[in-house]
Amino acid sequence: MLDGKIVELGSVDPTRTVLQYLREDIGQMGTKEGCAEGDCGACTVAMAEVDATAKHLQVRAINSCIQFLPTLDGKELITVESLRGPDGGLHPVQQAMVDRHGSQCGFCTPGFIMSLFALFKNNASPSRREIDDALAGNLCRCAAYRSIIEAANTMGSDYGERQRAGGWLLEPHAANARAGSDEKSRVDLLNSLKSDHTLAVESHHRKFFAPQCSDEMANLLHEYPAATILAGGTDVGLRVTKQHQELEVVIYTGRVSELRAQAVSDSQLEIGAAVPLSDAMQLIIEYFPTLEELFLRFASPPIRNAATLGGNIANGSPIGDSMPVLLVLDTSLVLRKDDGRRTLALSDFYIDYQQTALQPGEFVEKILIPLPVDGAHVESYKVSKRFDQDISAVCGAYQLLLDGGNVADIKIAYGGMAAMCKRAEQCEKTLRGKPWNEALLDEAMNALDRDFTPLSDMRSTAEYRQRICRNLLQRFYLDTTGAGDERLYSYGR
Amino acid sequence: MDASGKRTAPRSGIVGAVGSAIPHESSEKHVSGEAIYTDDIPEPKGLLHLAVGMSSKAHARISSIDLSAVRAAPGVIDVMIADDIPGDNNYGPVIADDPVLAPGLVQYAGQAVFAVAAITVEQARKAAQLGLIEYEELEPILDARKALAAGSFVLPSASIKRGDSTAAIASAAHRLKGSVSVGGQDHFYLEGQIAMALPAEDGDLFVYSSTQHPGEIQQLVAAAIGRQSKDVVVECRRMGGAFGGKESQPALIACIAGLMAQKTGRPCKLRLDRDDDMIMTGKRHDFEIDYDVGFTDNGRIEGIEFMFASRCGMSADLSGAINDRTMFHCDNAYFLENVTIVSHRCKTNTVSNTAFRGFGGPQGMFGIECVVDDIARHLGKDPLDVRRENFYGIGERDTTHYLQTVDDNVIHEIVDELEKSSDYRRRVDEIRQFNQAHELLKRGIALTPVKFGISFTATHLNQAGALLHIYADGTVHLNHGGTEMGQGLFTKVAQVVAEELQIDIDRIKITASDTSKVPNASATAASSGSDLNGKAAQAAARTIRNRLLKFAAAHYAVAEDEVVFENNEVQIGDQRVPFEKLVHQAWFARISLSATGFYSTPQINYDRSTFSGRPFFYYAYGAAVAEVIIDTLTGEHRLLRVDILHDCGKSLNPAIDMGQIEGGFIQGVGWLTSEELWWNAAGELKTHAPSTYKIPTCSDLPVDFRVRLLESTANREDTIHRSKAVGEPPLMLSLSVFCAIRDAVASVGGNNRVPGLQAPATPESVLNAISEQQAAS
């Protein structure tokens, strides 16, 4: 659905991106390409889908440059060209950006507008921190950020009259439930598009499947064991836009109901592999509040809205930010192949650089995270050149259980220190059963040198990684003893 | 004026008067996605898309090129190598040492070797991966120090000497020697490099180019296709950011598009992918700087010697003028009585570095700011006191090392006011206390000045033209040689014309830069856009206005001084006539309603052979106080508070000037902190995308950001409405952030040891500097 109308596409290359469709196929040039890898935000669009209540629309910003077109089946695509009101006037978000001088060269502006629009539909009076987070995926090289923040501060409040006449697109979050809104007709339209069948697209010598349930997913993978499994596409998309790979068979996890489900049992969080990171993180933070900063610094909202926890795990990157903390939380995975399922500890899942224990035709169905242990300290810290939306040089995670003053149990894991994210076994061994004090800390820090032999690359030298690995353990020690200073990230905010 | 842009009362009643904070002329189009950038122009029938095959080696002879697989790839229409170029195989703007396509020798990893034309972008890019190039590898030189050792230069070294620095250093009470490095910077304009060339009759070309310098594109494309300037027209309505990166670099893109359009007879578009753009195009020069300084007990510099070595890359490009500007600006706001400056322009097997906001000035100012900081630490003084001790005087100690008198010095006034309004002294004490009380987090503060010379140092470039038409309905077509890259030039020039004609700005159509309307325009660069083009457009408007005035006096039989243009009307004797009515009458009376305007900057004269004279029409000034906090466990930092006071003269548009100040400052902060360019041992750039190259984002803005324009200081020189240039100077306000990080680092060692912090101050760089302090204390 685009601009409130259903658009049916007959023959479309399944790996065509939404951005290519907009710019090259239908000539809507408002959405821009800045990097074609989801890191600059010039291509940001909004996607609306019917939420769990089946009555309302949920709006999320996504990067159109790496989103494959068939993944939008049954959803509404909203672009910068969609926003003008029925009177032809600017949307409150657009007007606020004009009034506050939020554009200079203007090339990033449509992307900012769409991120602000998604914010406006979810939270019309955001705090500075919420604004920073909502815009973490939008780069403005003219650096008109102060004006843009001011625009974000006023977009929900200053344009009342026009909003009331403008319908759902122009209504800020707070007014969502009001009568007279055309939200219902949009919801009805989207509901009418619902289907119980696997979406199958075959075109341009490619096959694309979007199964609806795990059984179908297993069947498809049985038939096409070499298929590319597509989740959020925030990595697979780059294989097409940057490496120019030809993906022959793509199986999309985003409609598999079991993979989209989250649940909390007596003992664990159960997160479907295709749950968007933004939802998965929200659930995890609810149970592990100390992880909020890590997740705020993890990618950007458009990426977190598309990417999935399962994708982050199955990708097997040595620098993924979710893995260290999931490792120390004793996470396990439910893997499925055909009719068989097995549960594997995450620590056994990684074999080597970008190699996992997944067999051909097997997929991650669920991620199981044990509920917090009473009295346990859990922390994860990342270090990168930029605070927001950067890949870690090093990411460390820790779970400590003290018994009196002694270490009853400790789990430590690092990303960026080896060919894969892994536990610091030597270091853990040094600490277990011993008194948790500074003398022991020194010994444990030395043990880390035996656990890891990091590499030098564009993110940092090996020497820096080694030092940071030790220093983050020190930070954890200080945080558990209450001697740690305030966090830099929130200092003064 | 406050941060929201509400200050100066407009000087007249019209909409868009000079001095009014109106929005950018394209702001409604920006926010609605309706602004048309080069890639948004409707594509002509038969358009071919191009891609470039690049060298994988930093330094090698090409022994063979096999493009058979490229030709055979789906959708491919044609390929092109150096031998196919009918004219000059060069896009170098000053010296012809920049081949469009490598002619047998490749000099950096990423250099263009061949081009391919295909039906779609994807086909072209896929095909470009299929070229088989065999190399005979040569030893590459990858950094400035190695080039220096090898005597590898793109241009001869240069020096400026005043007084006897050696004797002054030797006899001074104190002496310090040091070395600092400062990294380069990618422009990261959000709109990548792009050009579209359309064949026209007679074998001519029409070229759309995202460029700051359409006139140069015209010359270089014409020369490459073996034709002359009259055969090529270049147009650019707007760029999605440029920052100097679209001064000389777009010529490579436009030449390839133009050559392929000529070869195939079809329209051709080359839009670089972001990674290719970052690999193939030049950046800000990184510098190695050595200094030797002698000074008094108060920190006054008695003698100083500087050695600057910049990595220019494989060709000269604009490196001559850039490094000259480093030499001019290594005084910043300080009087250097006995000084020797040596500048080496190092040739390396890396992409040719180029113009970037500040044009070498920032690196020179980086050098001197580190020196005064080091002097202060050495003496145990507050760096601000040492800075003040060295400021240019007023009426004394006011001659630069290139013998220009600094006769418009407002730095004392700015710094005094900022010191007070930012509560600098109290915060210094507070920070000391904080640092004593905290083991892991340390705060730092610094106040740094900016004095930046305005004019192209190549005197002949300080000229501009404009073309103005008034149509019979009273509406106006405005054109000038400047280009719009987001800096608001088109808005400001339109305000100047609106003011001159006394009509609302919405009667004026702002049009694309076009080489067929205004010839021989200089690049929109050196912060001079509104100074030059504003004056040229004003001259054109004045010419027509004078014709209208004379006509009105004759037609209505009044004296000329009884004709006054005011607020969309013309007072003629005791009648008020709508502007459009007078225009219509003038047209009917066969009065010419079209005029050109021309401007050349007065007073400047400068002799490159002796590095002396008056290269700059005037100076722009400003100062900033930055406060940071660092984490001594990781080396990460956050920007807590920044106060800026900046001199824009009488601002043409305070809202736009505020945007330039804030944006320039933040861009400078990126250069000095998070933006790190990293090449591997083979000379391949590995930070070539936003995933690996980190420019500032929203949360990097200071928690507390207070920016003000210096109140009502008219430019002493007769610039356009007494305003001052604002494009580049604010970038260097970011030196305050680097110095504040140095201050925080120095606190680890007790505030009296020179912090060996190298730029960019990445977490790793900061942690290294902290370790040095810890080891020494």
Backbone angles phi, psi at A413, to 5 degrees: -140, 150
B401 DSSP β-pair partners: none
Based on the domain organization, do B545 and B524 belong to the same domain?
yes
Task: Name the minimum distance, in Å, from the CA of A273 to any CA of chain B.
Answer: 24
Last residue of some domain: B573, B600, B627?
Answer: B600
Structure tokens at A261: 């489900």
Res B5 pLDDT > 70: no
Question: For B775, left (φ over 0), alpha (ψ -120 to 50), or beta?
Answer: alpha
- The pLDDT of residue A178 is 55
Condensed to tens digits (0 to 9), the pLDDT of residues B680-725 reads: 999 999 999 999 999 999 999 999 999 999 986 899 999 999 999 9
Q: Following CA atoms A389, A394, A399, A405 in sequence, which dihedral angle do they give, to the nearest 10 degrees?
A: -130
CB contact under 8 Å between B696 and A386, yes or no, is: yes
* Cα–Cα dist B777/B764, whole Å: 20
DSSP assigned state of B729: G
Structure tokens at B125: 């890019």
Q: Which of B439, B728, B764, B772 is catalytic?
A: B728
CB contact under 8 Å between A103 and B662, yes or no, is: no
Those of residues 436-465 in A touching chain B at CB distance below 8 A are 457-461, 464
Q: Give domain status of residue B180, yes or no.
A: no
Residues of B in contact with A467 (CB under 8 A): 767
Q: Give domain status of residue B633, yes or no.
A: yes
Helix (H) or strand (E) holding B178: strand B174-182
Minimum Cα–Cα distance from A116: chain B residue: B31
Task: Name the minimum distance, in Å, from the CA of B708 to any CA of chain A.
Answer: 13
CB contact under 8 Å between A491 and B638, yes or no, is: yes
Based on the domain organization, do B520 and B634 belong to the same domain?
no
Q: What count of other Cβ atoms lies within 10 Å of the Cβ of residue A450? A: 13
Structure tokens at A46: 């909004």
For residue B698, give the nearest of A23, A149, A472 by CB distance: A149
Task: Name the minimum distance, in Å, from the CA of B657 to any CA of chain A.
Answer: 11
- The pLDDT of residue B124 is 98
DSSP-derived pairing of the beta strands B48-54 and B268-271: parallel
**Along the 493 residues of chain A, how does pLDDT read in single tens digits?**
887 789 988 788 999 999 999 999 999 999 999 999 999 999 999 999 998 888 889 999 999 999 999 999 999 999 999 999 888 999 999 999 999 999 999 999 999 999 999 999 999 899 999 999 999 999 999 999 999 999 999 998 767 666 667 788 988 886 555 545 688 889 999 999 888 889 999 998 999 999 999 999 999 999 999 999 999 999 999 999 999 999 999 999 999 999 999 999 999 999 999 999 999 999 999 999 999 999 999 999 999 999 999 999 998 888 889 999 999 999 999 999 999 999 999 999 999 888 999 999 999 999 999 999 999 999 999 999 999 999 999 999 999 999 999 999 999 999 999 999 999 999 999 999 999 999 999 999 999 999 999 999 999 999 999 999 999 999 999 999 987 767 787 777 6
For residue B663, give the nearest of A83, A97, A143 by CB distance: A143
Backbone angles phi, psi at B321, to 5 degrees: -65, -35
Q: What count of other Cβ atoms lies within 10 Å of the Cβ of residue B576? A: 13
- The pLDDT of residue A5 is 84
Task: Name the minimum distance, in Å, from the CA of A111 to any CA of chain B.
Answer: 9
* Cα–Cα dist B421/B707, whole Å: 11
| Chain B contact probe: residue of A3, A24, A90, A101 with most B CBs at under 10 A | A101
Rounded to a whole number of angstroms, the distance between the first and last alpha carbons of chain A is 40
Last residue of some domain: B600, B622, B647?
Answer: B600
Q: With an 8 Å Cβ cutoff, is A247 touching chain B?
A: no
Q: Which residues, 6 or more positions from B649, have their beta carbon under 8 angstroms from its beta carbon?
A: B713, B714, B715, B719, B722, B723, B724
What pLDDT band is residue B325 in, cutting at 50, 70 and 90? very high
DSSP-derived secondary structure for B667-695: HHHHHHTT----B-TTS-B---STTTS--
| Chain B contact probe: residue of A15, A105, A319 with most B CBs at under 10 A | A105
**What's the Cα-to-Cα distance from B410 to each of B1, B359, B392, B422, B647, rounded to whole Å?**
18, 23, 10, 18, 9
- The pLDDT of residue A10 is 79
Based on the domain organization, do B570 and B631 belong to the same domain?
no
Minimum Cα–Cα distance from B486: chain A residue: A105
CB contact under 8 Å between B24 and A458, yes or no, is: no
Condensed to tens digits (0 to 9), the pLDDT of residues B558-614 reads: 999 999 999 999 999 999 999 999 999 999 999 999 999 999 999 999 999 999 999
Question: For B33, left (φ over 0), alpha (ψ -120 to 50), or beta?
Answer: left
Last residue of some domain: B537, B572, B600?
Answer: B600
Q: What count of other Cβ atoms lies within 10 Å of the Cβ of residue B120? A: 15
Distance, CA of A281 to chain centre = 8
* Cα–Cα dist B185/B744, whole Å: 24
Q: What count of other Cβ atoms lies within 10 Å of the Cβ of residue B712? A: 11
Q: What count of other Cβ atoms lies within 10 Å of the Cβ of residue B566? A: 13
Q: Give domain status of residue B216, yes or no.
A: no
Based on the domain organization, do B449 and B477 belong to the same domain?
no
Based on the domain organization, do B712 and B661 belong to the same domain?
yes
**What's the Cα-to-Cα distance from B298 to each of B305, B414, B424, rounded to whole Å?**
19, 22, 20
Q: Which residues, 6 or more positions from B365, have their beta carbon under 8 angstroms from its beta carbon?
A: B329, B330, B332, B450, B732, B735
The CATH number given to A195-372 is 3.30.465.10
Whether CATH 1.10.760.10 fits A377-481: no
- The pLDDT of residue B431 is 98
Q: With an 8 Å Cβ cutoff, is A26 touching chain B?
A: no
Based on the domain organization, do B669 and B768 belong to the same domain?
yes
For residue A103, give the nearest of B27, B700, B703 by CB distance: B27
| Chain A contact probe: residue of B2, B32, B210 with most A CBs at under 10 A | B32
CATH for B684: 3.30.365.10
Q: What count of other Cβ atoms lies within 10 Å of the Cβ of residue B417? A: 16
CB contact under 8 Å between A97 and B27, yes or no, is: yes
Minimum Cα–Cα distance from A88: chain B residue: B32
CB contact under 8 Å between B698 and A148, yes or no, is: yes
- The pLDDT of residue A175 is 57
Residues of B in contact with A485 (CB under 8 A): 438-441
CB contact under 8 Å between A132 and B3, yes or no, is: no
For residues B195 and B208, the answer to whether their CB atoms sit within 8 Å is yes
For residues B465 and B214, the answer to whether their CB atoms sit within 8 Å is no
Strand order in A249-252's β-sheet? A199-203, A206-210, A249-252, A228-230
Based on the domain organization, do B491 and B586 belong to the same domain?
yes
* Cα–Cα dist A289/A127, whole Å: 19
Structure tokens at A291: 């992880």
Q: Which residues, 6 or more positions from B194, have their beta carbon under 8 angstroms from its beta carbon?
A: B37, B38, B39, B209, B210, B253, B269, B270, B271, B272
CA neighbor of B197 nearest in space, from B109, B239, B260: B260
Task: Name the minimum distance, in Å, from the CA of B230 to any CA of chain A.
Answer: 30
- Which residue's structure tokens are 């990033």? A108
Convert B483-493 to b/e letters by CB count within 10 Å (16 or more is b). bbbbbbbbbbb
Backbone angles phi, psi at A50, to 5 degrees: -70, 130
**Inter-chain Cβ pairs, chain A and chain B, closer than 8 A:** 271
For residue B239, give the nearest of A35, A90, A105 by CB distance: A105
Task: Name the minimum distance, in Å, from the CA of B173 to any CA of chain A.
Answer: 39
* Cα–Cα dist B617/B600, whole Å: 11
* Cα–Cα dist A47/A71, whole Å: 11
Residues of A in contact with B239 (CB under 8 A): 105
For chain B, what is the domain count?
2
* Cα–Cα dist B291/B113, whole Å: 41
User: In this structure, which amino acid lies at residue B101?
Assistant: L
- Which residue's structure tokens are 């075959």? A202
Structure tokens at A41: 């935000």
Those of residues 368-407 in A touching chain B at CB distance below 8 A are 383-391, 393
3-state secondary structure of A328: helix
Based on the domain organization, do B628 and B771 belong to the same domain?
yes
Structure tokens at B587: 């047209």
- The pLDDT of residue A176 is 52
Q: CB-based burial of residue A242 (10 Å sphere; 0-12 exposed, 13-18 middle, 19+ buried)?
A: middle
For residues B295 and B224, the answer to whether their CB atoms sit within 8 Å is no
Residues of A in contact with B274 (CB under 8 A): 34-37, 40
CA neighbor of A50 nearest in space, from A179, A190, A173, A197: A190
DSSP-derived secondary structure for A155-216: TTTTTHHHHHHH-GGG--GGGTT-TT-SHHHHHHHHHHT--SSPEEEEETTEEEEE-SSHHH
- The pLDDT of residue A161 is 64
Q: CB-based burial of residue B83 (10 Å sphere; 0-12 exposed, 13-18 middle, 19+ buried)?
A: exposed
CB contact under 8 Å between B129 and A99, yes or no, is: no
Task: Name the minimum distance, in Å, from the CA of B420 to any CA of chain A.
Answer: 22
CB contact under 8 Å between B689 and A393, yes or no, is: no
Q: With an 8 Å Cβ cutoff, is A127 touching chain B?
A: no
Q: Which residues, 6 or more positions from B632, have their beta carbon under 8 angstroms from its beta carbon?
A: B439, B440, B441, B442, B748, B767, B770
Based on the domain organization, do B563 and B483 belong to the same domain?
yes
- Which residue's structure tokens are 């760096």? B383
CB contact under 8 Å between B763 and A393, yes or no, is: yes
* Domain around B755: 403-456+613-777
For residues A453 and A429, the answer to whether their CB atoms sit within 8 Å is no
* Cα–Cα dist A447/A443, whole Å: 6
* Cα–Cα dist A115/A125, whole Å: 14
* Cα–Cα dist B569/A167, whole Å: 42
Q: Give domain status of residue B444, yes or no.
A: yes
Condensed to tens digits (0 to 9), the pLDDT of residues B309-321 reads: 999 999 999 999 9
Q: Give domain status of residue B678, yes or no.
A: yes
Q: Give domain status of residue B743, yes or no.
A: yes
For residues A48 and A186, the answer to whether their CB atoms sit within 8 Å is yes
Based on the domain organization, do B542 and B619 belong to the same domain?
no
Asked about B396 being catalytic, the answer comes back as no
| Chain B contact probe: residue of A2, A87, A141, A468 with most B CBs at under 10 A | A141
Task: Say which CATH class A1-194 falls into.
Answer: alpha beta
User: In this structure, which amino acid lies at residue B35?
Assistant: A
Helix (H) or strand (E) holding B642: strand B637-646
User: In this structure, which amino acid lies at residue A408?
Assistant: A
Res B423 pLDDT > 80: yes
Side-chain half-sphere exposure of B441, counting CA atoms within 13 A: 20
Q: With an 8 Å Cβ cutoff, is A138 touching chain B?
A: yes
Condensed to tens digits (0 to 9), the pLDDT of residues B7-31 reads: 444 457 899 999 999 999 999 999 9
Task: Name the minimum distance, in Å, from the CA of B179 to any CA of chain A.
Answer: 22
- Which residue's structure tokens are 């002294």? B425
Based on the domain organization, do B410 and B433 belong to the same domain?
yes
Q: Give domain status of residue B196, yes or no.
A: no
* Cα–Cα dist A9/B148, whole Å: 61
Rounded to a whole number of angstroms, the distance between the first and last alpha carbons of chain B is 46
CA neighbor of A169 nearest in space, from A263, A101, A228, A87: A87
Q: Give domain status of residue B685, yes or no.
A: yes
Average pLDDT (B402-413) is 97
For residues A83 and A69, the answer to whether their CB atoms sit within 8 Å is no
Helix (H) or strand (E) holding A474: helix A462-481
Based on the domain organization, do B627 and B573 belong to the same domain?
no
DSSP-derived secondary structure for A352-367: ETTEESPPTT-EEEEE
Tell me what percent of the residues of chain B surpass a pLDDT of 90.
97
DSSP-derived secondary structure for B577-595: EEHHHHHHHHHHTT---EE
